A and B are shown apart, each in its own frame.
Chain A
Amino acid sequence: MDAIKTWLGRSGLASIAILAVLLLVVFPLAMDTFRLNLVGKYLTYGFVAIGLVMLWGYGGVLSLGQGVFFGLGGYAMAMFLKLEASDPESTKIQSTPGIPDFMDWNQLTELPLWWEPFNSFGFTLFAVVAVPVLLAFSISYAMFKRRVGGVYFAIITQAVALILTVLIIGQQGYTGGVNGMTDLKTLMGWDIRTDEAKTLLYFLTAALLLGAILLCRWIQLSKLGTLLLAMRDKEDRVRFSGYDVSMFKVFAFCLAAALSAIGGAMFTLQVGFMSPSFVGIVPSIEMVIFAAVGGRMSLVGAVYGALLVNFGKTYFSETFPDLWLFLMAALFIGVVMAFPNGLAGLYESHVKPWLARRKQAPAGSGGEPPSASTAPAAPTVPHTTTSSAAAPAADIHLGAKVSSQSA
């Protein structure tokens, strides 16, 4: 029993199990379909947030352009749904029936060639991941091979987010422009707007997210995870131990892109549309805030961060519509200044010692074996001990290019 406890604690599976119970049992029991759908939407941002944990927390590479990949995944899914919604029967009032309505409005008379493959659901699923990963690979390979990193890389990702937004809005006839792709109705004949569909999609999102967390946890515990941490600490030492550092960063960036894209696709399915407002700079920065608030070293924490910030956003933007952006900014600055490792870091440094003390008190009289205190119980943040918990606010790995050698 103690062995199981230790193993659960060390691998971080305990906290993942708690999250699973919350997502798969508590929320569905406690909420109506509308709220559950809202949570489902927030969970799609959870994909982006855990991607950022891998990229930013572990890899030390800050991306301010995750909206790009979220958007590409979302758009790929939206293209499939839009084609299905644009059958000749339901678009017969258009001058060219059978093509998406926004194409018709923009005087397009036939489906562009690059839209054709999106008639296939199999290809769409492939494209949801492949297109963002391909873009992520080209950007990051070009940058990291040239040793561009830190702030410069963050700015470039932001530029990419801006470019993609401008491109989507400008190419209205092909992308739906600023309105995005709306009126998405069915997925292979299955109406995604009904309550049952929304509930099912919620469970699908939650299950995929938990799967993604397990995958990331496995990567963290592999040698690759160790190397990412090592690179963040002493990049030159890793390079001069025979590793091609740039390829590990490329991998982390592609992984984060793939996760974001899956989130984007699930977003489209649950919300029923996709628009440039989820692609640009502002949403991309918001996504970083989710990870920062939850804790950029904790996968589970990042999901809680995405949920909390989005709940807050929904609540505050309804209550104080004018103040919301300021509150958001204050939240980000406050979190980074006060607890750089987010809520998960707060849990590690305050709640857990307190729990341990409470546990120890009855242990003295109750005869509880002392193994609980000797076990390295670090559910989510195995490597953030005192040194990183006490890291100053400046250490958010914007430009933390560690030079390991003096001239």
Chain B
Amino acid sequence: MSNTDFVLAVEDLTVSFDGFKAIDSLNLYVDRGELRVVIGPNGAGKTTLLDLICGKTKASAGSIKFKNQEMTRLPEHMIVRAGIGRKFQTPSIYENLSVFKNLEVSFPRGRGVFGALGFKCDDAVKAKVDEVAGMIGLADRLDLEAGLLSHGQKQWLEIGMLLMQDPELLMLDEPIAGMSARERELTADLLNRICQNRSVIVIEHDMDFVARIAHKVTVMHQGKILAEGSMDKVQSDPKVIDVYLGH
């Protein structure tokens, strides 16, 4: 497959579980600096798509190119090191560690066994932690045990842990699930800010939220792409209304 200018180029991607094709010959292209939202009914394969891109699930066929580098055969940690960050659906943070430690551990240095032994939390690390903590609104919670944060704060913390690594592609699986209206607003602002210098893929159901953040929307259905384009275009697409948005 030819090289492209896209930060992420997914082509003919297929994965089948015991014959069931969760993703079926899917093509997806994401631009640099783009915030893409993926929507679709339950079971459409949205989370599976993210799993495939970040290596959690191995593809049966097809290619995933990140900055023209093939990702399908790399182990997960190498995909992360290439610059792809993934946030899970349920907040996945280290509950017993402080907020500071959660962020510090995510700093992309000392990733080998002996690198980790010799890792020093120097000023560069502290500065980065402070910067990220400021972005996610947890600057005054650094010493708090992460398990004591509210649900929304946990979601932000996990986003912050990804920002520590400065990924070029950030994938967020339902980042506002379980958040209050106020928290949703803050999250939308946060996402609009962090996509300034990186690409972001978001899976989301809340259409108001999608409208606030999306540059482009991809609608998935039964492992395939049903429609793609601006929010208005997608919302008026009869196929999308039929399977997802409802009449």
> Closest CB-CB distance, A338 to chain B, in whole Å?
22
Known contacts: A234-B92, A239-B77, A244-B77. The answer to whether A383 contacts B111 by CB under 8 A is: no
Using C-beta atoms within 8 Å of the partner chain, give the interface range for chain A. 20 to 34
In the complex, which of the residues A229, A240, A251, A384 contacts B94, with contact meaning CB atoms closer than 8 Å? Answer: A229
> Closest CB-CB distance, A349 to chain B, in whole Å?
15
In the complex, which of the residues B75, B93, B108, B173 contacts A234, with contact meaning CB atoms closer than 8 Å? Answer: B93
Whether A237 and B88, one on each chain, are in contact in the complex, defined by CB atoms closer than 8 angstroms, is yes
Does B153 lie at the interface of the complex (its beta carbon under 8 Å from any beta carbon of A)? no
Whether B77 and A237, one on each chain, are in contact in the complex, defined by CB atoms closer than 8 angstroms, is no
Does A407 lie at the interface of the complex (its beta carbon under 8 Å from any beta carbon of B)? yes
Does B76 lie at the interface of the complex (its beta carbon under 8 Å from any beta carbon of A)? yes
Whether A240 and B106, one on each chain, are in contact in the complex, defined by CB atoms closer than 8 angstroms, is no
Does A387 lie at the interface of the complex (its beta carbon under 8 Å from any beta carbon of B)? yes
Chain A residues within an 8 Å CB radius of B106: 241
User: 0/1 per residue, A199-230, Cβ < 8 Å to B?
Assistant: 00000000000000000000100111011011
Whether A406 and B89, one on each chain, are in contact in the complex, defined by CB atoms closer than 8 angstroms, is yes
Chain B residues within an 8 Å CB radius of A223: 104-105, 110, 116-117, 119, 121
Chain B residues within an 8 Å CB radius of A384: 96
CB-based nearest A residue for B146: A233
Once A and B bind, how many residue pairs between them come within 8 Å at the CB atom?
A: 102
Does B233 lie at the interface of the complex (its beta carbon under 8 Å from any beta carbon of A)? no
> Closest CB-CB distance, A245 to chain B, in whole Å?
8
Whether A224 and B113, one on each chain, are in contact in the complex, defined by CB atoms closer than 8 angstroms, is yes
A240 to B85, CA, bound (A): 7
CB-based nearest A residue for B87: A240
Does B147 lie at the interface of the complex (its beta carbon under 8 Å from any beta carbon of A)? yes
A226 to B112, CA, bound (A): 14
Chain A residues within an 8 Å CB radius of B47: 405, 407
User: 0/1 per residue, A372-407, Cβ < 8 Å to B?
Assistant: 000000000001110110000000000000001111
User: 0/1 per residue, A118-130, Cβ < 8 Å to B?
Assistant: 0000000000000
> Closest CB-CB distance, A168 to chain B, in whole Å?
31
Chain A residues within an 8 Å CB radius of B92: 234, 236-237, 404-405
CB-based nearest A residue for B22: A407
Chain A residues within an 8 Å CB radius of B136: none
Chain A residues within an 8 Å CB radius of B147: 387
> Closest CB-CB distance, A236 to chain B, in whole Å?
7
Does A242 lie at the interface of the complex (its beta carbon under 8 Å from any beta carbon of B)? yes
Known contacts: A226-B101, A241-B165. The answer to whether A247 contacts B112 by CB under 8 A is: yes
Does A141 lie at the interface of the complex (its beta carbon under 8 Å from any beta carbon of B)? no
Chain A residues within an 8 Å CB radius of B95: 233, 387
Does A315 lie at the interface of the complex (its beta carbon under 8 Å from any beta carbon of B)? no
> Closest CB-CB distance, A253 to chain B, in whole Å?
12
> Closest CB-CB distance, B165 to chain A, in whole Å?
7
Known contacts: A237-B92, A406-B89. The answer to whether A224 contacts B116 by CB under 8 A is: yes
A59 to B76, CA, bound (A): 20
Chain A residues within an 8 Å CB radius of B96: 229, 233, 383-385, 387-388
Whether A251 and B90, one on each chain, are in contact in the complex, defined by CB atoms closer than 8 angstroms, is no
Does B86 lie at the interface of the complex (its beta carbon under 8 Å from any beta carbon of A)? yes
> Closest CB-CB distance, A94 to chain B, in whole Å?
48
Does B97 lie at the interface of the complex (its beta carbon under 8 Å from any beta carbon of A)? yes
Chain A residues within an 8 Å CB radius of B121: 223
Whether A230 and B97, one on each chain, are in contact in the complex, defined by CB atoms closer than 8 angstroms, is yes
Does A248 lie at the interface of the complex (its beta carbon under 8 Å from any beta carbon of B)? yes
A247 to B114, CA, bound (A): 10
Chain B residues within an 8 Å CB radius of A238: 105
A407 to B46, CA, bound (A): 10
Residues 64 to 110 of chain B near chain A (Cβ within 8 Å): 75-77, 80-81, 85-86, 88-90, 92-97, 101, 104-106, 108, 110
Residues 347 to 391 of chain A near chain B (Cβ within 8 Å): 383-385, 387-388
Q: List 24 A-B contacts (CB under 8 A).
A: A223-B110, A223-B119, A224-B117, A224-B119, A229-B97, A237-B92, A237-B158, A237-B161, A240-B56, A240-B80, A241-B80, A241-B105, A241-B165, A242-B77, A242-B81, A242-B111, A244-B77, A244-B112, A247-B113, A383-B97, A404-B92, A405-B92, A405-B173, A406-B89
Beyond A227-B116, A239-B76, 15 extra complex contacts between A and B, CB < 8 Å: A222-B117, A224-B113, A226-B105, A229-B94, A230-B94, A233-B95, A236-B92, A242-B77, A242-B108, A244-B112, A387-B95, A404-B88, A405-B90, A406-B89, A407-B47
Binding site for A on B (CB under 8 A): 47, 54, 56, 75-77, 80-81, 85-86, 88-90, 92-97, 101, 104-106, 108, 110-113, 116-119, 121, 145, 147, 158, 161, 165, 173
Binding site for B on A (CB under 8 A): 219, 222-224, 226-227, 229-230, 233-234, 236-245, 247-248, 250-251, 383-385, 387-388, 404-407
Listed from nearest, the 7 A-B pairs whose CB atoms lie closest are A242-B80, A223-B119, A404-B92, A224-B116, A237-B92, A230-B94, A223-B116
